[in-house]
Structures are given as C-alpha cells and as structure tokens.
Amino acid sequence: MAGILFRWLIAFVLLAATYNPTSYNYTRWVMDGWQENTPQIVLAGLLLLTGYVIYLRATLRSIGAFGMILVMAIVAALIWVLVDWQVIRLDDPGLNTWIGIATLSLVLGVGLSWSIIRRRLSGQADVDDVED
C-alpha cells in the first residue's frame, strides 16, 4: 500500500509543481522569470517533462486511454456525490484546481501502480514484454 501511495504522491507533486493556484509553481516561474532564469527554467522544464513521459507512458501501457477515462469518471462521480451531500462546494476556483490536480494525479498514480493493484486483486502477476 505504501508503494501505491508513494506513486500517487509523486504524481501529485509533479502536477502541483507544474501548476497550482498558489504563486509557487513552474508556470508562474516561467511567466515571471524567463529573462533572468532561462537556463534553470529550461532544466526544470526538461525534468518535469521527463516525469510526465514516465508517468504517461506507464499509465497508457498499463490501463490505456479507456482505463484513464474510467478512473477519471469514477473520481468525477465521487466528487459529484460529495457535492450532492454538501461535503464540498465547487464555487472556489482554487479548490477546483486542487481537486483537478488530485484527480489527474490519482489517474497517473493508478496507472503507474496498476500491476501492484491487479496482483493484489486477482493474485496474478504481470510480466513485462521481453524482446528477443
């Protein structure tokens, strides 16, 4: 369980580092400091891009586009229930952004952890494709 939680947390940090409703994010840094920090911004952008490539490739290979849509639909339905029960309200744009970041990070975390989840649910192990 700790491995799944860790993968989700890293996805959350990756998305929140790229953009969040505070002023501490890569997008704001690029807009405010491009002239002064171009080499550092490019390096950080490449590191973020590498993280996205790893997560997206693993997610697409493990659960595919349909699985990604399904996980997002389940989370959207959960949010709908929480709004209906008046546990959360969607009138705050900052909260909506954090909910979006949490939703997308959950999709990426499930995608990267799918082999672990599947093995626990079914008792069957996945084997990676091996090239001859």
| 67 has pLDDT over 60 | yes
- The model carries a pTM of 0.85
Name the CA radius of gyration of the chain, rounded.
Answer: 17
Q: What is the residue extent of each domain of the chain?
A: 2-122
- Region 37-48 average pLDDT: 96
| 126 has pLDDT over 70 | no
CA distance 57 to 20: 23
- Region 57-77 average pLDDT: 95
What percent of the chain lies above the pLDDT cut of 70?
94
Averaging pLDDT over each range in 3-7, 69-73, 110-114, which range is the top one?
Answer: 69-73
CA angle 46, 52, 26 (to 5 degrees): 55
Lowest mean pLDDT among 10-14, 19-23, 75-79, 111-115: 111-115
| 92 has pLDDT over 70 | yes
Looking at per-residue pLDDT, the higher value among 56 and 3 belongs to 56
